[in-house]
Amino acid sequence: MKNLLKLGIALMVVTLSLPLKGQLQNAGTLNEPIDISGDFQSFTNTYYFADALVEFDPVSASGKVEYLRHEYATRQAFNNMLASLVPVRANEFPGNEYEAAPRLPIEIDFVSPRTIRLRMQSGPDQTLAEPSLMLVNGDAPTDQSWVYSAITGGHRYTSAFGSVTIMEKPWHIEFRDANGKLLTKTNHHSDNNGKTYTPVMPFSYVRRAADYSRSFSATLSLSPDEKIFGLGESYTNFNKRGSSVVLCTDDANGIQNETMYKPIPFYMSSNGYGVFMHTSTPITADFGKYFSGVQQLMIGDESLDLFIFLGNPKEILDAYTDLTGKAAMPPLWSFGFWMSRITYFSEIDGRTVTKKLRDNKIPCDVIHFDTGWFETDWRCDYKFSETRFDDPAKMITDFKKDGFETCLWQLPYFVPQNSLFKEIVEKGLYVKNPKGNLPYEDAVLDFTNPKTVEWYQGKIAALLKLGVGAIKVDFGEAAPYNGIYANGRTGFYEHNLYPLRYNKAVSDITYETNGERIIWARSTWAGSQRYPLHWGGDPANSNTSMAATLRGGLSIGLSGFTFWSHDIGGFVEACPEELYARWTPFGMLSSHTRSHGAPPTEPWEYSNDFLKSFRNATNMRYQLMPYIYSQSKHASENGLPMMRALFVEFPDDPGAWLIDNQYLFGADILVAPLFEETQSRDVYLPGKGMWFDYQTGKSYAPGWHHIEAGEIPVVMLVREGAAIPHIKLAQSTKFMDWNKIELKIYGKSDARTLICLPDQQELKELNIEKGKLVLNPFTNVEFKIVK
């Protein structure tokens, strides 16, 4: 076995000594995200401006909009070439066979008292209606509470939470809150023409000269102080106002560039609304970058399908996840610590690490084998190496007895030397190019093919039946754009859906086999939040990457994802000890927590001081497990993130909307990580109540403070009136005693908390008055109250 360990180390050294490379962006290389914004700036294309509502039925809220043709023209002035959008005549022959000013369908549906659906067509639609994988029930429900009224020059529908007004000419749709405040409205050419020298593309669609394909630009107004959040796991600036965001799933090769593993076509505005772009095509969303007064949603689809949500951040997230699905509650053990590196190669590696975790009293619930558990590193054949694993089934069983679940890495791409490659090709289980061949050298599984899903799930099920607890659902961002999929669609429509199909396939078979909703996935699209959980890709080992990690976590949390994790310390290189120490409590105070990346990641491979610090942070997490689990249950039922932007809980605090380097862990704990080599930092405390340092007990009023970190290198505060549930420390969640829970009160003697017991799955609120529990709804649980 010593020789096997040496072999594993040698393989690891070879793997990690290869030069680091990533995709050069904006260079036209393979699988680069598609940015369609250039199609709306071309002098060869024709643009059809939504001009007037020419037909409308108030009962069905449907009708037709007339579109007027425009093109770009140039004008030279003072040695500067200017562009403008000018009306043009029809260019078809015979002219009497085609509409010069097309009149095309518009339909408004009311999904709930907060949710409006807007659908428009740029031409005939011969596609058959089919359930949408992005919507939890395949389609949207209808709501009858909206009341119609005719107004001068238009139509208005009103609910308890706002109104939608459709003006006939010039055509506008206005969205207002219950007080009549304008939230946003469609942009008409007359809003720009003669009022700015900048050629602004109004609400319109483009017809490309190259192939006559069409795409929409849903152009809406922006208010002066409006801020935009969400759009998936975006690691750039948190507030997207002033940015242009390409929503196209990409193997980003890191987290400090503008491309994303997890783009989500949903965002929310500080103005009181959210927007879901219901499409799987590439999207470029410009939020006032080109022109500060408008947001331009350039959607690849030839049909437009928007959902608009009215409300505050919690209400918007609840409505959005009602539509696209709320996160399932993962098993208790998944909330424990996951120990990993790239990679453990053998049974002896796994047994050594699990033993050292217990010997060093580092609580842990999961041991993860990354790319090296096959005979050939990275060559996924779903089989444990016969030369490095003596008895995988016994190993997994032994791990379970000691409180560990096993997680295994895999991917949906198969190299030509893979023993499964021939079978995949012969059975036609791969995505094909237009000729029917392989688009790449690898075979990429086609999850639109039911036979592929059945074949693939059979491979995964065999591992789960062996006792494996979770499958790492890695990659999934490289579905061929030029591929022809089994459902007849091209990669233009299937590339972004690939992660959702991939997530679903693994989650479904895991639930069918083990009865648990748990995966560990990297790529996503809208709806993937139903299949927890996801982690944040491959961060560098740096302060700026740590800060970017938080921005990505906050952003995906504002995109409907309750659960999310990241690689503690970064992935690319061996993490410097000081950075690893600061990153650890940030990771421990995330919904799920894993150390992973280039070795060493194991805490005993660093100094004794680090080992103690790591143990303290991990112990804190395990003692907080009743809080973490209960808050997770509440978050999953309401579409809320566990890693929560301050303004989600404090929407009326203007300062809360400006913070991107702190977060709320659940509803009651505020976390301010140390992003630099320091022992203190500035912290903004939102709201009106007092805040209490979790480690020192010191109290702080709302506002800005400079606060020292405690023994655990993080600033962590609890809001006044919270009772934080704790449990006796155990080395695995499997060994925890949930019959005894301690409630620590912060602030006054009156407090409240939420409790969900893993074996009951029912969330209940506990109230404390004058230091005493008003009512204990759990007959078998003893609560101890500590001030």
114: its two tokens:
């907060």
What is the residue-wise DSSP string for 93-138? SSGGGS-SS-EEEEEEEEEETTEEEEEEESS---PPP---TTSTTS
Beta bridge partners of 452: none
- Residue type present at position 335: F
- Residue type present at position 497: L
Decide: helix, strand or coil at residue 417: coil
Whether cis (ω within 30° of 0) applies to the bond prior to 600 is yes
Q: Which of 535, 536, 479, 481 is nearest to 502 (CA)?
A: 479
The answer to whether the CB of 721 falls within 8 A of the CB of 767 is no
- The 147-151 sheet, strands edge to edge: 147-151, 154-159, 162-167, 172-177, 182-185
d(CA 457, CA 468): 14
Angle between helices 2-17 and 347-359 (to 10 degrees): 90
d(CA 277, CA 265): 5
- Residue type present at position 96: N
Angle between helices 608-623 and 625-638 (to 10 degrees): 60
What is the residue-wise DSSP string for 686-747? -SSS-EEETTT--EE-SEEEEEE--SSSSEEEEETTBEEEEE---SSGGG--TTEEEEEE-S
Phi, psi of 664 (to 5 degrees): -100, 130
d(CA 30, CA 65): 39
Q: Residue 128, class by beta-carbon neighbours within 10 Å (0-12 exposed, 13-18 middle, 19+ buried)?
A: exposed
Q: What residues are annotated to the active site?
A: 474, 477, 538
Give the position of tokens 């396939």: 505
The answer to whether the CB of 550 falls within 8 A of the CB of 289 is no
- CA 659 from centroid of its chain's CA atoms: 19
Give the position of tokens 């099920």: 461
The answer to whether the CB of 632 falls within 8 A of the CB of 589 is no
Number of H helices, E strands in the chain: 13, 44
> Could you give the C-alpha distances from 119 to 104, 105, 139, in angstroms and in order?
11, 8, 13
**Which stretches of 337-411 are assigned E, i.e. beta strand?**
337-339, 366-369, 405-410
